[in-house]
């Protein structure tokens, strides 16, 4: 499934690719709240009601975006997240409601990629 963002000013198309996160290093990242909200709106408008891996990981010292390796500025964690349950949750996924959760990287979820 490919999600086309209706906002013509957006530089992104969103590809919701159903495979495992470990095969991708170009997952969606957000520079700011506006970009994040665009993605959430697109997921919602397409009727998607699940979670998707995003390009955010914990390198054991801090959460980082996979594209830039920079520390995060904008965050939107769900309540009690990131929980790092059993010290095994080093990857982040976005729920369609817009909130983020950390989880084990090997869990099967669709990945959210930007398709340029
Ligand atoms: Ca968690």
Q: What integer is the mean pLDDT of 55-61?
A: 89
- Domain interval for residue 12: 2-115
Q: Which two tokens stand for residue 3?
A: 């999600």
Contact call for residues 93 and 28 (beta carbons, < 8 A) = no
Residues with CB under 5 A from ligand 1 (ion): 83, 89, 102
Contacts of 9 (CB under 8 A, 6+ apart): none
**Which backbone phi and psi does 41 adopt, to 5 degrees?**
-60, -40
C-alpha 89 – ligand 1 centre gap (Å): 6
Taking only the tens place, the pLDDT of each residue in 94-111 is 999 999 999 999 888 888
C-alpha 65 – ligand 1 centre gap (Å): 17
Query: What is the total count of domains within the chain?
Result: 1
CA distance 73 to 30: 10
Exposed/middle/buried for 80, CB within 10 Å: 0-12, 13-18, 19+?
exposed
C-alpha 88 – ligand 1 centre gap (Å): 9
Task: Choose among 113, 116, 114: nearest CA to 19.
Answer: 113
Domain of residue 62, CATH code:
3.10.100.10
C-alpha 85 – ligand 1 centre gap (Å): 6
Q: What is the CA radius of gyration of the chain?
A: 13
C-alpha 1 – ligand 1 centre gap (Å): 27
Q: Going by DSSP bridges, is the β-strand pair 91-95/63-65 parallel, antiparallel, or unpaired?
A: unpaired
C-alpha 11 – ligand 1 centre gap (Å): 31
Taking only the tens place, the pLDDT of each residue in 17-44 is 655 565 566 788 888 898 899 889 888 8
The predicted pLDDT at position 19 comes to: 56
Percent of the chain at pLDDT above 70? 73
Q: Which residue has the tokens 């999600």?
A: 3
């Amino acid at each position: 499934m490919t999600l086309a963002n209706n906002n013509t000013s957006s530089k992104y198309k969103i590809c919701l690719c159903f495979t495992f996160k470990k095969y991708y290093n170009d997952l969606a990242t957000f520079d700011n709240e506006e970009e994040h909200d665009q993605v959430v709106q697109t997921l919602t408008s397409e009727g998607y009601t699940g979670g998707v891996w995003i390009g955010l990981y914990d390198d054991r010292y801090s959460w980082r975006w996979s594209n830039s390796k920079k520390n995060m500025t904008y965050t939107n964690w769900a309540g009690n997240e990131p929980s790092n349950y059993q010290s095994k949750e080093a990857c982040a996924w976005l729920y369609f409601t817009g909130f983020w959760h950390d989880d084990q990287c090997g869990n099967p979820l669709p990945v959210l990629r930007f398709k340029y």
